């Protein structure tokens, strides 16, 4: 993103707009707008006047005139901005500033800008999607967004599909919502989109839509990408899909998934056909090296009698099992600070993090000197960080206690 003040001064001194800023960047147009209003007096005298705008040649503006109109569209004086709108209407290069003026704080300016933008054909709004959504956060930015939404819903589906891979997250989200509503993607394509996305909103939207539109013929094409996705939310949707497909038994493989939400979905699916997951967890916890998360699952659905099994697993040679056993004890509400405390010195970072989480509710009762000793520079980083967090939790607990006492 360019500096708004610098870009504005360059344009004021004759540099073409397309050279002074990145015209593909929504933020650059917004900073140009604010930059013109912040010009130093020496550069501000270079801004166009309404008289200059009246004397510009009619028709499509020349590159030089585009720069002058652009400055006028960002002018501190609302009357100049309003006059510039009439000269900007037919210039494609100035449409981004037409969008900016739709969110103008001067009502006549924003009203006229919205009228002019409404005359722009729907397909020509699509390249402005990033800027429109960027400005939609402003108080008056919603009208341009409505025009874009209508253009995407009523225009060619290819325009929507092209935006699915946009570099702008807000644009991708809107495009996926419209694509789902317009049924522009097959169930299999939606499943692949959910699995490939790193945006939880897109993941959830596409996964749910894939399951809702899944037919008998494409069950594997939908479930395979969902069940193998990296995202826990997408995998959990896939496990839920097993129930819809009548393949409840396959949920067993996800009882020991690394994500709690997936394990919970797997248990739900199995219980729908009368399968109790608890005996499976107990069986796996006899030798959990291959399925470390079985220890966490045991805590999530076990009983008080399973606590000793989990305590035994806190000394397991596999660090992942130790960490999951601590998580299982937390889920079972069976944490004993005196027995968890030594795990803060565990050589494995995941175990230390799990112990820290388990000890946080009991921080006020931990020995202060014992914690402070573990914040020393020579202590391994995971333990040092965990100890600092517990010291902070201890201070907060004590502060709350003092306030309550008062």
For 88-128, what is each residue's pLDDT tens digit? Answer: 877 888 999 999 999 999 999 999 999 999 998 788 899 99
Segment 29-52 shows an average pLDDT of: 85
For range 14-42, the mean pLDDT = 87
pLDDT at 5: 62
Q: What is the pLDDT of residues 160-170, one digit of tens each?
A: 999 999 999 99
In which band, very low, low, confident or very high, does the pLDDT at 216 lie, cut at 50, 70 and 90?
Answer: confident
Whether 18 and 29 have beta carbons less than 8 Å apart is answered as no
Does residue 376 surpass a pLDDT of 90? Answer: yes
> For residues 346 and 380, is the Cβ–Cβ distance under 8 A?
no
Separation CA 324–CA 288 (nearest Å): 10
Query: pLDDT band at 55, cuts 50/70/90?
Result: confident
Residues sharing a CB contact under 8 Å with residue 174, sequence separation 6 or more, in sequence order:
129, 133, 148, 149, 152, 163
C-alpha distances out from residue 107 to 86, 89, 97, 200, 389, Å: 16, 18, 16, 37, 51
Average pLDDT, the chain: 92
Would you put residue 362 in left (φ > 0), alpha (ψ -120 to 50) or beta? Answer: alpha
Q: According to the model, what pLDDT value does residue 42 have?
A: 73
Instruction: Give the per-residue pLDDT at 12.
Output: 85
CA atoms within 13 A on the CB side of 263: 24
pLDDT of residue 4: 52
Is residue 266 within 8 Å of 241, Cβ to Cβ? no
Please give the model's pTM, rounded to 2 decimal places.
0.85
Average pLDDT on 205-223 reads: 92
The three-state secondary structure class of 197 is coil
């Amino acid at each position: 993103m360019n500096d708004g003040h610098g870009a504005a001064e360059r344009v004021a001194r004759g540099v073409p707009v397309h050279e002074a800023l990145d015209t593909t960047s929504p933020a650059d147009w917004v900073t140009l707008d604010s930059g013109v209003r912040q010009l130093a007096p020496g550069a501000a005298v270079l801004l166009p006047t309404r008289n200059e705008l009246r004397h510009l040649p009619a028709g499509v503006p020349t590159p030089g005139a585009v720069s002058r109109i652009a400055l006028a569209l960002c002018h501190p004086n609302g009357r100049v901005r309003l006059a510039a709108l009439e000269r900007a209407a037919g210039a494609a290069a100035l449409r981004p500033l037409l969008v900016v003026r739709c969110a103008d704080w001067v009502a006549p300016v924003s009203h006229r800008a919205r009228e002019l933008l409404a005359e722009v054909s729907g397909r020509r709004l699509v390249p402005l999607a990033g800027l429109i959504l960027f400005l939609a956060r402003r108080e008056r930015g919603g009208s341009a967004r409505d025009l874009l939404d209508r253009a995407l819903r009523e225009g060619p589906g290819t325009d929507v599909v092209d935006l699915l891979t946009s570099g702008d997250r807000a644009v991708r989200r809107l495009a996926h919502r419209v694509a789902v509503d317009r049924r522009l993607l097959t169930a299999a394509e939606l499943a692949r989109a959910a699995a490939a996305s790193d945006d939880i909103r897109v993941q959830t939207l596409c996964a749910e839509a894939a399951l809702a539109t899944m037919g008998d013929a494409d069950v594997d094409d939908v479930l395979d990408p969902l069940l193998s996705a990296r995202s826990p939310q997408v995998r959990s949707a896939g496990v839920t899909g097993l129930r819809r497909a009548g393949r409840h038994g396959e949920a067993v493989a996800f009882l020991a998934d690394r994500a709690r939400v997936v394990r919970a979905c797997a248990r739900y699916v199995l219980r729908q056909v009368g399968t109790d997951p608890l005996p499976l967890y107990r069986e796996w916890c006899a030798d959990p090296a291959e399925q470390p998360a079985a220890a966490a699952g045991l805590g999530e659905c076990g009983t008080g009698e399973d606590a000793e099994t989990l305590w035994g697993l806190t000394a397991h040679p596999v660090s992942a099992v130790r960490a999951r056993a601590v998580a299982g004890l937390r889920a079972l509400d069976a944490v004993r600070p005196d027995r968890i405390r030594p795990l803060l010195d565990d050589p494995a970072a995941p175990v230390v993090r799990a112990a820290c989480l388990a000890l946080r509710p009991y921080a006020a009762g931990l020995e202060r000197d014992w914690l402070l000793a573990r914040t020393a520079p020579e202590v391994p980083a995971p333990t040092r960080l965990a100890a600092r967090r517990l010291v902070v939790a201890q201070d907060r607990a004590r502060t709350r206690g003092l306030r309550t006492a008062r």
